[in-house]
Homo-oligomer: A and B are copies of this chain.
Amino acid sequence: MYLSEKKFHSIYKKEKSKIDLILKKSLQGRKPSSLYEPGSYILHSEGKRLRPLLVLLSAKAVGGKFNQVYNAAAAVEMLHNFTLVHDDIMDNADKRRGRLTLHKKYDNNTAILVGDSLLSVAYEYLLMDCSANAKEVMGAFTQGLVDVCEGQSMDTDFEMKKRVTIKEYLVMITKKTAAMAEMCCRIGATLGGGSKIQVNSLSNYGKNLGIAFQIQDDLLDISADEKEFGKTIGGDLVEGKKTYLFIKALEKATGEDRKSLSRVISSYGVRKNQVKKYKLLYEKLGVLDESKKEIRKYTNRALNALKIFNSTEQKILYMLADALIERTK
């Protein structure tokens, strides 16, 4: 069956606006407003809603209907926003999606509690779409939550560590980013009535797509077009983050190059005007190309996991992978 890119984007746009509406309504009229108004502030902010999309498309891929999983789709976005609210406090971030972060608009205490509350409502929404499969679905969601906490803790550990290996990095992003995408596909496929092999295949798709997505994130941070990207290029270097590119560069560098990279660690980051120099070093060491190869590798793994499907739905998931990997921001 033929599925045009245009059709894919029209499905995405339509479903995204449905999810936006559910999220918008989800906290309306709830009391106390001291809790749910800040919660709404976060849920109203513009996000790509990729995680809900994974839930929807996974349900469809196994023969289910979007209607069966809209609440679950909203739930994963709430869970995602819970992590953003708490992460932003920890990172002391001022802005998110072009607006003030919750703890800056209100205060830390409000942000802690609103994060907790978003998580509670996430479970509530997920339960609405559960029936006999509740244990499995709630288990997958909870595993995603366990993983994301562990991943965040590892990420924080990395800040203080002198040396991080690619293996450790992959464990961290698998927990912090990929586990959530895996979970979205797993609960979508389970709620959609998928067989065990279908559920596992889609989970595998989600996990590998998540890993590719995160490495892509690292790559975009240094190689994106500043205007399209919407953020300053090289922010990860400025913060001294141990990204895929940085770890790989440190592995390959010798002599002066190595010393130069080590200084990023010992100084907990570089000045903005040094970003260009490090980008040139990355290019010299070939780590931009290596990361592209790695992204391709995990994307291919994701696509291979779809082989058991053979329908329009498979094509949609293919296209979603493409759209994510081709993204410029």
Query: Which residues from chain A sit less than 8 Å from chain B, CB to CB?
Result: 31-32, 34-35, 86, 89-90, 108-109, 112-113, 115-117, 119-121, 123-124, 127, 130-132, 134-135, 138-139, 142-143, 145-146, 149-150, 152-154, 156-157
Contact = CB atoms under 8 A, between A and B. Distances in A.
Contacts of A135: 127, 130-131, 134
A89 B153 CA distance: 18
Contact of A120 (B90, B109, B149): B149
A209 to B, nearest CB: 23
A241 to B, nearest CB: 16
Contacts of A113: 86, 90, 149, 152-153, 156
Contacts of A142: 120, 123-124, 127
A32 B157 contact: yes
Nearest to A144: B120
A126 to B, nearest CB: 9
A130 B135 CA distance: 7
A146 B90 CA distance: 23
6 contacts: A32-B150, A34-B153, A89-B109, A117-B153, A123-B123, A134-B135
A116 B35 contact: no
Contacts of A157: 32, 34
A152 B127 CA distance: 23
A116 B156 contact: no
B34 A156 contact: yes
B112 A150 contact: no
Contacts of A152: 113
A28 to B, nearest CB: 15
B116 A149 contact: yes
A251 to B, nearest CB: 22
User: Which of A89, A117, A119, A149 is most buried by chain B, counting CB atoms within 10 A of its CB?
Assistant: A149
Contacts of A130: 134-135
A31 B149 CA distance: 11
A156 B112 CA distance: 13
A5 B113 CA distance: 40
A291 to B, nearest CB: 25
A89 B31 CA distance: 23
A109 B90 contact: yes
Contacts of A132: 132
A145 B116 CA distance: 9
B116 A154 contact: no
Contacts of A90: 109, 112-113
Nearest to A90: B109
Contacts of A145: 116, 119-120, 123
Contacts of A119: 116, 119, 145
A117 B138 CA distance: 16
